[in-house]
Structure 1
């Protein structure tokens, strides 16, 4: 049994496909298949069920894959411990960020990280919360910036900031001259939402739960439209298609000619943004350096958390 074989079975379990797993491991599919068959013969167990279109992990295989991931992390931890003796923050840090945070935090964060810890380049991955959690679990990411709540996966979590929401309306809209808007007043508006998979979509539906029934059935299309990103939705607002709710950091600093951003009246809806990492991750100084870089960002309008 080798670490390479363990990496192969973790990759197959993640990709559910031998070809994609081989690509992820930078080897040919026959090389990967032979190595996994050798490991199955050595253990005298079947790790995977080979189907026509997808590979599934056997119940016993799932337990072995989990142990394999622990062994791989332990081996990586030995290398990291050796590195920390020379420079605790040397080497890349693999950071995941959800789509509704990345475009607004990363420009400043990358600058702060370069200024503070140039020896720790950030390898960045934008994705949905569910995918980032899976990548944390399998060791593809070291840490991730996400918004609560998310399923308890035994991760270590450090709060970063509480971010209020704002209402975005067309410049010609009746609400455009208001100083504050209540969630109740949005009930009669055509709401523009992010597509399924975005956690911020769920946050908006918590503020305006009546749109949940419109967002998933064709009859309600008159009351709810979906976009692929916050920036796309802002263009839809500018064109007069409806209104939307956005996080504070996504509000442009310059005045926008066609969109007005209005604060909510109390109680103001917010989301808590956190940094999460595996408890087995050994580069504590790297996590601390990343948090310090985040706290050094401007983060206008949010409530920082220590």
Structure 2
């Protein structure tokens, strides 16, 4: 039994496909298949059930894959301990970040890390919360910047900042001249939302649950459209298709001739942005360095948290 074989079975369990697992491991499919068959023969049991279109993990295979992941992490930890003896921050840090934070925080954060910790390059993965959680669990990521709440997966979590929401409306909209807006007033508007899978969509629905009803009633939202990104939705708002809610960090510094961003009346809805990592991850100094790099970013209107 080798670490390579263990990496192969973890990859197949994740991808549910031998071909994709082989690509992820940078080997040919026959090489991966032979290695896994050899391991199954050594253990005298089936780890995977091979179907016509998908591979599934057997009951005992699930336990073996979990144990394999732990062994791989512990082996990596040995290397990290050796590196820390020379430089605690040496080596790349694999960072995940959700779509509604990445475009607005990463430009500053990457510069901040390069300036402060050039020996710790960031390897970035932008994705949905559920995918980042899975990648953390399987060891593909070291840590991730996400917004609470998310399922309790036994991760270590450190708060970074609280981010208020604002309303985006077309420049010629009746609400555009307002100094603040209540969530109650948005019930009568055409609301543009992110598509399913984005956690920010869920945050908006918490602010105004009526958005979920797609109601044609005058007291509710008349229509609702979905977009693939905040920037796409902003363009839709600018063209007069409706209004939306966005996180404050996504508001550009320069005023737009086609959009107005208006604060909410108190209580102002917000989201808590956090850094999460596996409790078994041993590079504590790298986590602390990343947090410091975030705090060094310009975050106007955010409440920095140090708990």
- Could you tell me the TM-score, scaled by structure 1's length? 0.97
Q: Does residue 107 of structure 1 match 2:107?
A: yes
Superposition pairs for residues 20-59 of structure 1, below 5 Å?
A: 20-59=20-59
Q: Deviations over 1:100-132 (max 9, x none)?
A: 000000000001000000000000000000000
Q: Indicate the residue corresponding to 1:185 in structure 2.
A: 185
Q: Deviations over 1:24-46 (max 9, x none)?
A: 00111111111101111111111
Q: Please list every run of 5 or more consecutive structure 1 residues that lacks an aligned counterpart in the other structure.
A: none
Q: Does residue 152 of structure 1 match 2:186?
A: no
Deviation at 1:236, TM superposition (A): 0.4
| SS of the residue 1:89 aligns to | coil
RMSD (Å) for aligned C-alpha atoms: 1.1
Superposition pairs for residues 54-93 of structure 1, below 5 Å?
A: 54-93=54-93
Q: Indicate the residue corresponding to 1:279 in structure 2.
A: 279
How many Å separate the matches in 2 of 1:221 and 1:208? 10
Q: Indicate the residue corresponding to 2:9 in structure 1.
A: 9
Q: Please list every run of 5 or more consecutive structure 2 residues that lacks an aligned counterpart in the other structure.
A: none
Q: Deviations over 1:158-178 (max 9, x none)?
A: 000000000000001110000
| SS of the residue 2:120 aligns to | coil
Number of aligned positions between the proteins: 302
Deviation at 1:213, TM superposition (A): 2.0
| SS of the residue 2:175 aligns to | coil
How many Å separate the matches in 1 of 2:230 and 2:135? 24
How many Å separate the matches in 1 of 2:35 and 2:214? 51
Q: Indicate the residue corresponding to 1:253 in structure 2.
A: 253
Q: Indicate the residue corresponding to 1:135 in structure 2.
A: 135
Q: Indicate the residue corresponding to 1:206 in structure 2.
A: 206
- Could you tell me the TM-score, scaled by structure 2's length? 0.97
Q: Indicate the residue corresponding to 2:244 in structure 1.
A: 244
Q: Deviations over 1:218-260 (max 9, x none)?
A: xx99510011000000000000000000001001111110000
Q: Deviations over 1:9-31 (max 9, x none)?
A: 00000000000000000111111
Q: Indicate the residue corresponding to 2:166 in structure 1.
A: 166
Q: Which runs of 4+ in 1 moved over 6 A?
A: none
How many Å separate the matches in 1 of 2:184 and 2:213? 16
How many Å separate the matches in 2 of 1:59 and 1:301? 50
